[in-house]
Amino acid sequence: MILGGDFGGTRIKLGLIDEGCVVASTVVDSMAHLPSAEWFPTLDQAVTDLCRTSGVRRQAIDAMVWALPLIIDPGLRRATRAFGKFEDVTDEDFCSRAEERFGLPLLLDGDARAAAIGEWQAGAGKGSDDLVMITLGTGIGTGVIQNGYPVRGRTGMAGTLGGLSITHLGSPGSDRVAPGCTEGQVATWALPERVAAHPEFGASSLSNVSPVDYQALFSHAAQGDPLACTIRDHALEAWGALTLNLIQAFDPGRVVIGGGIMAAAEIILPPVRRFVRDHAIQPGGPVEIVAGTLGDHAALIGCEWIWNHASR
């Protein structure tokens, strides 16, 4: 049995996974901006509580795999780059410190890659050994399965286009993101600032919303608010462009889109499919673009596969 962890900017999802099934799971508030010494005790207690409520002995857990929004070295023991979250996971001794605290061996991987593996093994990607995954949540993540194996590349950065890609849309750069970065354009974390900076903000019904997230944006757009419609359409185009970039970079047979924002799949999928249909080069015929089916369990299920197939 594996203890999987899916570390997001808002929540940390923990699960006990056995033979492809999430036996039990729980959620704690993310502590992404704190040093690990401050969130290890909370996480450790959450694991103890999860075991107690599920009736699973802690001694029955064989190992941990943590999926994080970081660049993870292909050896799966070290993060090489952080982006303002879980910064000290890049310390060379991080895994050793975690193993000492939790009493279990630990591997790391990227959160979107783990979600891609989960959907590939047990969800919307099952049966396709060439697929890409996009996760739309607090940030934007991407992961790639090619020829039946996760793509990691020389440094672990391969397939990670959500935070690093340059889109056709263009945007000012900053210390946080590169010019045209997809996350800087349309990630949930970027949305409040982008909306507030718009010249139409004062006249928009969104000016009465705090914080502005995609649920609110879609709701106000459906009611005809002009600014909400403008920002919504911009996001849909950006997600379409990201999907197109992934298709032309990796030539998959299927694209799986998951994450919390996909609660509005009926709003997101049709325009993304149209954008790809109108602009992508697809010599093998139309690429399937589908919603993920595993929800919060995608990365957790991926964690077990990562442990079982890691070189140790």
Tens of pLDDT along 36-70?
Answer: 999 999 999 999 999 999 999 999 999 999 999 99
Please indicate, yes or no, whether residues 190 and 218 belong to a single structural domain of this protein. yes
The pLDDT value recorded for residue 173 is 47
pLDDT tier, 83 (very low <50, low <70, confident <90, very high otherwise)? confident
Per-residue pLDDT, averaged over 208-237, amounts to 95
Please indicate, yes or no, whether residues 92 and 26 belong to a single structural domain of this protein. yes
- Is 136 domain-assigned? yes
Which residue in 167, 157, 65, 67 sits closest to 112, CA to CA?
67
- What CATH number has the domain bearing residue 149? 3.30.420.40
The pLDDT value recorded for residue 230 is 96
* Percentage of residues in the chain having pLDDT higher than 70: 93
- Coil, strand or helix at 196: helix
**What phi, psi does 168 have (nearest 5°)?**
-70, -10
Q: Is the peptide bond before 211 cis (omega within 30 degrees of 0)?
A: yes
Looking at the predicted structure, is the pLDDT value of residue 176 above 70?
A: no
Per-residue pLDDT, averaged over 164-176, amounts to 51
Assigned token pair, 33:
């901006």
Looking at the predicted structure, is the pLDDT value of residue 113 above 90?
A: yes
Looking at the predicted structure, is the pLDDT value of residue 127 above 80?
A: yes
**To the nearest whole number, what is the mean pLDDT of the chain?**
91
Task: Give the span between the Cα atoms of 4 and 63, in whole angstroms.
Answer: 9
Looking at the predicted structure, is the pLDDT value of residue 199 above 80?
A: yes
The pLDDT value recorded for residue 159 is 85
> Which class for 17: exposed (0-12), middle (13-18), buried (19 or more C-beta within 10 A)?
buried
Report the DSSP beta bridge partners of residue 68: 110
- Is 232 domain-assigned? yes
Per-residue pLDDT, averaged over 156-176, amounts to 61
Digit-coded pLDDT (tens) for 240-252: 989 998 999 999 9
Per-residue pLDDT, averaged over 111-115, amounts to 96
Task: Give the span between the Cα atoms of 124 and 182, in whole angstroms.
Answer: 24
Specify the number of domains making up the chain. 2
- Is 120 domain-assigned? no
Residue with tokens 């996480």: 43
- Is 33 domain-assigned? yes
- Is 251 domain-assigned? yes
Per-residue pLDDT, averaged over 171-182, amounts to 60
Please indicate, yes or no, whether residues 220 and 131 belong to a single structural domain of this protein. yes
Contact 151, 132 (CB under 8 A): no
Task: Give the span between the Cα atoms of 79 and 257, in whole angstroms.
Answer: 25
Please indicate, yes or no, whether residues 287 and 302 belong to a single structural domain of this protein. no
Which residue in 45, 42, 52, 44 sits closest to 99, CA to CA?
44
Please indicate, yes or no, whether residues 48 and 173 belong to a single structural domain of this protein. no
Task: Give the span between the Cα atoms of 137 and 35, in whole angstroms.
Answer: 22
Please indicate, yes or no, whether residues 137 and 88 belong to a single structural domain of this protein. no
- Is 35 domain-assigned? yes
- Is 227 domain-assigned? yes
Task: Give the span between the Cα atoms of 205 and 9, in whole angstroms.
Answer: 27
Assigned token pair, 258:
């998951």
The pLDDT value recorded for residue 183 is 83
Please indicate, yes or no, whether residues 62 and 131 belong to a single structural domain of this protein. no
pLDDT tier, 312 (very low <50, low <70, confident <90, very high otherwise)? low
Kindly tell me the sign of the dihedral angle through the C-alpha atoms of 131, 305, 110, 122: positive
- In single-letter form, the type of residue at position 154 comes to R
pLDDT tier, 94 (very low <50, low <70, confident <90, very high otherwise)? very high
Which of 61-65, 76-80, 278-282, 287-291 shows the lowest mean pLDDT across its residues?
278-282
- Is 277 domain-assigned? yes
Domain range for 101 is 2-115+297-309
Strand ranges of the sheet holding 131-136, from the earlier edge strand across to the other edge: 149-150, 140-146, 131-136, 254-258, 288-291
Looking at the predicted structure, is the pLDDT value of residue 150 above 80?
A: yes
Assigned token pair, 76:
């799966």
The pLDDT value recorded for residue 160 is 82
Please indicate, yes or no, whether residues 134 and 103 belong to a single structural domain of this protein. no
